[in-house]
Structure 1
Amino acid sequence: MNNFPQIIFASAVAVALTAPQNPEYLAETLSDERQDNGDGNFRYSFQTSNDISASQVGTPGILGQSNVQGSFRFPLTTGGFAEVSYIADENGYQPTSDLLPTPPPLPAHVFELLRIADEQRAQGITFN
């Protein structure tokens, strides 16, 4: 009989049990609330002892998808928190956060060009 798999498993368990536990990475669940109505409507929220939290509310979408709105938060190693709110629906995933990069504002002439293009489309002018 070959006991090699059992020896490897026992060794892995021994290493896992003797590995130092860093309290910084251990967390307890402080709250965990979930509700699923079975009709596409649902909600959940949770919070842990290391300040990680999330919540989400979902409803059926008009295209058969789930529309969700929620947020999550976790501590940053540099201090403070990362906080993200989002909506996901027919228009895609739309996150909002101070941590997300934003493009520079459009130059003023772009708005004039868009106005001219709208006028040309209204006149039936098309370009290939």
Structure 2
Amino acid sequence: MISKIAVLSCLLAVVLSAALPQQVAQEPVPIVSQEINVEPDGKFQWSYESGDGTKQEQTGEPKQIENEIGEAIQGSVSWTDPEGNQHSLKYVADENGYQPESEDIPKPPEIPAAIARALEYNAAHPEEEEKN
């Protein structure tokens, strides 16, 4: 579970680095505020805000998941793209996997009504599928 969270964190870092403008020969962006708190029981909380308005925060705690101890993590990040548009992402990572929420994540199209009815019929009549 921890390796999955580490992979997801790295993936998030790659996505954010691709989304942020590449700065060539510019001054480094200063960190305006930063907090880190790690408890002996495994709970943690960290956050930062940079001079360009980028903010990120994350909290987590150990969680019993079946026979193992995993982690339940939640966090958020917000930034402004080079065109001046605000973006934000909230996420949870726990026994149910990585669950991001953002207006920037594409939404799938709705299932056409005829297909939805067929799926409902199939779910209500599983015995007919077993015969075939």
> Is the shorter-chain TM-score for this pair beyond 0.5, marking a shared fold?
yes
Structure 1 residue ranges, 4+ long, deviating more than 6 angstroms after superposition? none
> Is residue 40 of structure 2 the alignment partner of residue 22 of structure 1?
no
Q: Which sections of structure 2, spanning at least 5 residues, go unmatched?
A: 1-23
Residue equivalent to 1:91: 96
Secondary structure at the aligned position of 1:118 is classed as helix
> Is residue 79 of structure 2 the alignment partner of residue 74 of structure 1?
yes
In structure 1, C-alpha distance between the alignment counterparts of 2:71 and 2:34, rounded to whole Å: 21
In structure 2, C-alpha distance between the alignment counterparts of 1:127 and 1:82, rounded to whole Å: 51
In structure 1, C-alpha distance between the alignment counterparts of 2:106 and 2:115, rounded to whole Å: 21
Residue equivalent to 2:18: none
- The Cα shift of 1:21 comes to 4.2
Larger Rg, first or second structure (1 or 2): 1
- The Cα shift of 1:104 comes to 0.7
**Count of aligned pairs:** 106
Alignment RMSD (CA, Å): 2.3
In structure 2, C-alpha distance between the alignment counterparts of 1:87 and 1:127, rounded to whole Å: 42
Query: What TM-score comes out, normalization by structure 2 length?
Result: 0.68
Q: Return the letter of the residue paired with 1:39.
A: D
Q: List aligned pairs for 1:1-128, cutoff 5 A.
A: 21-23=25-27, 26-63=28-65, 64-121=69-126, 126=130
Check the 8 A contact 1:56/1:68 in 2, yes or no: yes
Closer/same/farther in 2, CA of residues 48 and 87 from structure 1, 3 Å limit: same
Secondary structure at the aligned position of 2:48 is classed as strand
Query: What TM-score comes out, normalization by structure 1 length?
Result: 0.70
Check the 8 A contact 1:120/1:126 in 2, yes or no: no
In structure 2, C-alpha distance between the alignment counterparts of 1:111 and 1:79, rounded to whole Å: 40
- The Cα shift of 1:83 comes to 1.0
In structure 1, C-alpha distance between the alignment counterparts of 2:59 and 2:46, rounded to whole Å: 7
Secondary structure at the aligned position of 2:130 is classed as coil
- The Cα shift of 1:61 comes to 2.8
Q: Return the letter of the residue paired with 1:51.
A: G
In structure 2, C-alpha distance between the alignment counterparts of 1:113 and 1:37, rounded to whole Å: 52
Identical-pair percentage = 28
In structure 2, C-alpha distance between the alignment counterparts of 1:67 and 1:102, rounded to whole Å: 25
In structure 2, C-alpha distance between the alignment counterparts of 1:46 and 1:127, rounded to whole Å: 59
